[in-house]
Each structure stands twice: as structure tokens, then as C-alpha cells.
Amino acid sequence: MLVRRLLARLLDWLLVLVVSWPLVHEPVVVVAAAVLYDAALLRLTTLGKALTGLRVVGPATGLRNSRVLARALVTTAVPGAGVALVLAGLGWREPALPAALGWQQPWVVAGEHLGAGWTGWLGPLLLAGGLALVALSAVESLDLRGTRTWHDRKAGTAVVRLKHLPGGLRGARR
């Protein structure tokens, strides 16, 4: 079950990356798009979950929007922010981060890898913070008890395998 969940998450990230990166070239916007994709399709199913035969189920009373958003933030925003920080720490620049820090560098193109990384203490700090977020996300994802990880227990959800119809395609030919 854990391998299916990780594969579904990877497929969903790849879909969001392939669709949104050519449009915006901003890691922060790609992470936000992934959070919106995950939250919007939680009650239905994402493409990754559909391809791996998984579905998120919630309590009988339905999921409140706050729980949907909290689950999407934990499962998507934390690792996404970690990867964006790692890339920034390794020298991949995006205009939003330097602008937020008050630096104006109009010659830096989004996603362009510069030869020199961040100077001083900022690069290693971004790298360490990003690695910490990715590690936290990995530990949280591996806290699997049956069909529920930590974020599932907090949101009141579970990820289950879809059952195939009895007889499968053989029953359709009769």
C-alpha cells in the first residue's frame, strides 16, 4: 500500500509539474498549484490515485473544507516547499524569493541555474531548511498504520484500494 501511495503522489506531482512549470516558471506557484490540485480532487480522486487504484475516503458526514486544506498542506505544501528551498539553496534562482528578501536582480531568469550559489550563510540555511522539510515529510508519510498515515488520522481520512467488479472484464463479455 505504501508503494502505491508514493507512486500515486509522484504521478500527481509530475502531472502538476508538466502542466504548470511551462506556464509560470515559479516553484512557489507550482507548489501552490499542487496544493490546489490535491485539495480540489480529494473528494473525487487524483489522476495518480486513479492510475494506482487508490481512493481517499472520509468520515460518513463528509470532509469539512478546513480538514481538506489541512491535509493538502501537510501532504503537498511541506514537501513542495522543501524541494523549492533545496533548489534555492543549491543555486537555482526564482525571482519571487530574492524580491521577497529585498534584492532586485532583473537579469536572473526563473529557474536559471547560476554558477555560484547563494553567498554567505543564506545558501546553506535554505538547503538545510529544505532538507529538514523533505525529511519531515518522508517521516510523516512512512508513519503508515493500515490505510492511514499521520495526516490521514488528523484529517479523518483513509486511503483504500478500489475493489474491482466481480468477474472484471470477463463478466462484461457475457
DSSP at 166:
T
The answer, yes or no, to whether residue 167 has pLDDT greater than 50, is: no
Q: Are 93 and 86 in contact (CB under 8 A)?
A: no
Confirm whether 168 is domain-assigned: no
Position 172 in a domain: no
Distance CA 124, CA 18 (A): 29
Boundaries of domain holding 113: 2-163
Residue 133 covered by a domain: yes
In angstroms, the Cα distances linking 104 to 2, 23, 52 are 44, 23, 45
Q: Would the pTM count as exceeding 0.75? A: no
In a domain, 142, yes or no: yes
Whether residue 170 is contained in a domain is answered as no
Eight-state DSSP code of residue 54: E
CA dist 29 and 52 (Å) reads 26
pLDDT tens-digit series, residues 121-162: 787 888 899 999 999 888 887 777 777 887 888 788 888 888
| Mean pLDDT, range 27-51, rounded to an integer | 87
Q: How many domains does the chain have?
A: 1
Does any domain span residue 174? no
Q: Please indicate, yes or no, if residue 46 is contained in any of the structural domains.
A: yes
